[in-house]
C-alpha cells in the first residue's frame, strides 16, 4: 500500500512538510509506503480550459510542458492521497490550486479515475483561514468520489513553530493512524 503527499508550500521543509512527516511516520509504522512531492520543486500551472482531456480521455493532461502528468501518475499509483497547504490569504497556495485543477479535471474526464482512494488534507497556518483552506482541498476528494478519512491543522508561522502546537500535532498523528487503519480495511 502506498500514500503520496503533495506539499503546496513554496517552503520545501516548512511547517506543512513537518505535518506531512508526522502522518508519514504513523503510516510507515504500519508498513505503508510513502512518497512526498514538493510542489516547489517543479513548475505547475493552472488549467487553460482547453477541454482536450474531455475530448481525448487518455488519463493525462494535453499540456505536457510542466509536472502535471507526473503528479497524475503518482496519484494513479497510490492508494491514498494527502494534500497539504499553508494558508495563504485564507486559502490554499496557487501551486496547490493548480494541482487540484489540473489533476482533478483530468480525473473527472476519465470516469473519476481516483475514485475510492483514501484522501486526507493538512493545513499549517499562523492565525486564520484553516477551514476554508481545508474546504478547498476536500472538494478535490469529494468531487473525485474519493473517501475522506480526516484532516489536520496546526498553528505556526516560522519554520518549526507547528511543533509547539501540541494539540494540533497530536491530531495530525491520529490522522495518520486513522488513515493506516482505513487503508488496511479497504486494501489490506
Residues that bind ligand FMN (CB under 6 A): 9, 11, 14-16, 86-90, 124-129, 156-157, 159
Nearer Cβ to ligand FMN, position 154 or 180?
154
For the chain, count helices (H), then strands (E): 6, 5
Closest contact distance (angstroms) between CB of 170 and ligand FMN is 18
**What dihedral do alpha carbons 164, 93, 141, 125 form, nearest 10°?**
20
Cβ atoms 84, 123 nearer than 8 A: yes
Closest contact distance (angstroms) between CB of 85 and ligand FMN is 8
Closest contact distance (angstroms) between CB of 183 and ligand FMN is 25
Closest contact distance (angstroms) between CB of 55 and ligand FMN is 37
Q: In what order do the strands lie in the sheet with 2-7?
A: 33-38, 2-7, 80-86, 118-125, 147-155
Cell numbers for 18, please give them: 513537518
Amino acid at each position: 500500500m502506498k500514500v503520496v503527499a503533495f506539499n503546496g508550500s513554496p517552503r520545501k521543509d516548512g511547517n506543512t512538510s513537518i505535518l506531512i512527516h508526522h502522518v508519514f511516520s504513523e503510516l510507515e509504522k504500519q508498513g505503508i509506503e510513502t512518497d512526498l512531492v514538493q510542489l516547489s520543486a517543479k513548475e505547475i500551472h493552472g488549467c487553460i480550459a482547453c477541454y482536450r482531456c474531455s475530448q481525448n480521455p487518455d488519463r493525462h493532461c494535453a499540456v505536457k510542458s510542466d509536472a502535471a502528468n507526473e503528479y497524475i501518475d503518482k496519484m494513479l499509483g497510490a492508494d491514498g492521497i494527502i494534500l497539504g497547504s499553508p494558508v495563504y490569504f485564507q486559502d490554499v497556495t496557487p501551486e496547490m490550486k493548480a494541482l487540484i485543477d489540473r489533476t482533478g479535471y483530468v480525473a473527472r474526464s476519465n470516469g473519476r479515475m481516483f475514485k475510492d482512494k483514501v484522501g486526507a488534507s493538512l493545513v499549517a497556518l499562523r492565525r486564520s483561514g484553516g477551514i476554508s483552506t481545508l474546504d478547498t482541498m476536500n472538494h478535490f476528494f469529494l468531487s473525485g468520489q474519493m473517501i475522506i478519512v480526516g484532516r489536520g491543522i496546526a498553528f505556526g508561522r516560522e519554520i518549526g513553530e507547528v511543533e509547539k502546537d501540541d494539540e494540533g500535532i497530536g491530531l495530525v498523528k491520529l490522522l495518520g493512524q486513522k488513515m493506516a487503519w482505513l487503508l488496511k480495511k479497504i486494501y489490506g
